[in-house]
Amino acid sequence: MPDILLEVKDLHVNFFLTEGTVKAVNGVSFKIERGKTLGIVGESGCGKSVMARAILNMVRPPGRIVSGEINYYSQPDSPPINIASLNRNSAQVRRIRWGEIAMIFQEPMTSLSPVHTISNQMIEPIQLHLNLSKQAAKNHAVELLARVGLPNPEQLLTRYRHELSGGMRQRVMIAMALSCNPKLLIADEPTTAVDVTTQAQILNLMRGLQDEFGMAIMFITHALGVIAEIADDVVVMYLGEEVEVADVDTIFHDPSHPYTQALLRSIPRPDMKLKRLETIKGNVPDPMHLPQGCKYHPRCRYYIPTRCANPPFERVSSEHRARCARIHDIKEQLSEPTS
């Protein structure tokens, strides 16, 4: 029996705008195991960030969680708390935020306040969730900053965000996120806004911290390449739906969904230097006017009108599912030698 930490069941999040309803998250289900890393991948605009916020019940009007469950198992044998059913401003949700599930964002520049010191911002959740004195909280902050590899932590505490580099800011955010020993760290594109070297360092750091702190990570990215370095399991999202769910090896070596395959072909690889990178043809459709039937069909090379009207979320093997009506034909087609 896998030890489940978080179980999302058929989650729907809509934005009710005057121009229409945006179904940003449209029936997503997945599980995160305690201490493991789940990668969420998909092109920009497919609902990854909205889903991350929904897990902390932080979706704000005009958006709302319309249905589904977010079951959080604080201890292996404790009854679950359904975060989706709690009031957005309730004390129960606020205790879970940062204390149990912490989050870091894509923009390390703007996710820190421009007018408060690092110290002020770091001490705040420590005092709130761990009930430490100001001095004890400060000492804890210093330890964490040193742990994420930042030199002169005492001095760093007196700094403001504009005095730090992009990599330093993201390290500060990571230190801050780990300050209350969360059981789950949601990282929403934490390496998108930093350069490649910094990206590698931050991924390294996160892996090291996971070994040490033992938290599970939900790692969100639009770049499948990054997933290979950190995830155990992967959810591939397209237009608010999950299109493929599998462990990381399967996703990279035996993907079933045409969208996953296309994403794989668009990863830059050193052994393919001379070939031109493929990009997925077409654009992500307007979220207000989703395609009928299979949402990926306007961009899919295997599309057959009648067959693809209502693709099932089909089980490929025990822990591998894909939302495609033609999984088996595609397998055969791919195994045939092509000229």
Partner 1 sequence: MVKFIIRRLVTAAVTIWAISVVSFVIIQLPPGDFLTSYEANLRQMGENVPEEQLEAMRERYGLGEPIVTQYYKWVKAILLHGDFGRSMESGVPVSVLLWDRLPLTVLVGLSSILFVWVVAIPIGVYSATHQYSLMDHVFTFLGFLGLAIPNFLLALVLMWVAWSEFGQSVGGLYSPEYKAAPWSMAKFLDLLSHLWIPMVIVGTSWTAGLIRTMRANMLDELNQPYVETGRAKGLREWRVVWKYPVRVALNPFISTVGYALPQIVGGVVITAVVLNLPTLGPLLVRALLAQDMFMAGAIVMILSVLTVIGTLISDILLAILDPRIRLE
Ligand X SMILES: Nc1ncnc2c1ncn2[C@@H]1O[C@H](COP(=O)(O)OP(=O)(O)O)[C@@H](O)[C@H]1O
Residues that bind ligand X (CB under 6 A): 15, 17, 22, 24, 42, 44-50, 62-63, 287
Smaller CB separation from ligand X, 81 or 234: 234
Burial class of residue 48 (count of CB atoms within 10 Å of its CB; 0-12, 13-18, 19+): buried
Min separation Cβ 197 and Mg ion, Å: 23
Site for partner 1 in 85-104 (CB under 8 A): 89, 93-99, 102-103
Smaller CB separation from partner 1, 218 or 234: 218
Smaller CB separation from Mg ion, 48 or 140: 48
Min separation Cβ 323 and ligand X, Å: 17
What distance in Å separates the CA atoms of residue 225 and residue 196, rounded to the nearest whole number?
Answer: 12
What distance in Å separates the CA atoms of residue 41 and residue 23, rounded to the nearest whole number?
Answer: 18
What distance in Å separates the CA atoms of residue 112 and residue 173, rounded to the nearest whole number?
Answer: 8
Min separation Cβ 25 and Mg ion, Å: 12
Smaller CB separation from ligand X, 60 or 275: 60
Q: Which of 164, 196, 219, 172 is nearest to 36 (CA)?
A: 219
Give the residue ranges of DSSP H helices in 214-317: 224-230, 248-253, 258-265
Q: Which of 266, 230, 261 is nearest to 248 (CA)?
A: 230
Applying CB under 8 A, among 15, 30, 105, 296 the residue interacting with partner 1 is: 105
Element (H, E) at 285: none
What is the DSSP-derived secondary structure letter of residue 260?
Answer: H
According to DSSP, the residues that pair with 71 across neighbouring strands are 7, 82
**285 CB-side CA count, 13 A:** 19
Query: Which of Mg ion, partner 1, ligand X, none is residue 71 near (CB under 5 to 8 Å by kind)?
Result: none
Q: Which stretch binds Mg ion (CB under 5 A): 21-29, 47-55, 119-127, 320-328?
A: 47-55
Q: Which residue has the tokens 């990381």?
A: 248
> Six-digit token pair at 115?
């007018």
Q: Which stretch binds Mg ion (CB under 5 A): 49-57, 80-88, 211-219, 312-320?
A: 49-57
Q: Does 131 bind partner 1 (CB under 8 A)?
A: no
One-letter amino acid at 256 equals S
Site for partner 1 in 173-192 (CB under 8 A): 173
Min separation Cβ 12 and partner 1, Å: 21
Smaller CB separation from Mg ion, 189 or 244: 189
Min separation Cβ 59 and ligand X, Å: 8
Applying CB under 8 A, among 8, 51, 54, 56 the residue interacting with partner 1 is: 56
Min separation Cβ 47 and Mg ion, Å: 9
Smaller CB separation from ligand X, 216 or 239: 239
Applying CB under 5 A, among 49, 71, 179, 261 the residue interacting with Mg ion is: 49
| The length of the chain, given as a count of residues | 339
One-letter amino acid at 163 equals E
Q: Are strands 81-82 and 63-72 parallel, antiparallel or unpaired?
A: antiparallel
DSSP string, 121-175: HHHHHHHHHH---HHHHHHHHHHHHHHTT-S-HHHHHT--GGGS-HHHHHHHHHH
Q: Does 36 bind partner 1 (CB under 8 A)?
A: no
Q: Does 129 bind partner 1 (CB under 8 A)?
A: yes
Binding site for partner 1 (CB under 8 A): 53, 56, 58, 89, 93-99, 102-103, 105-107, 110-117, 121, 124-125, 128-129, 160, 162, 173
Binding site for Mg ion (CB under 5 A): 49
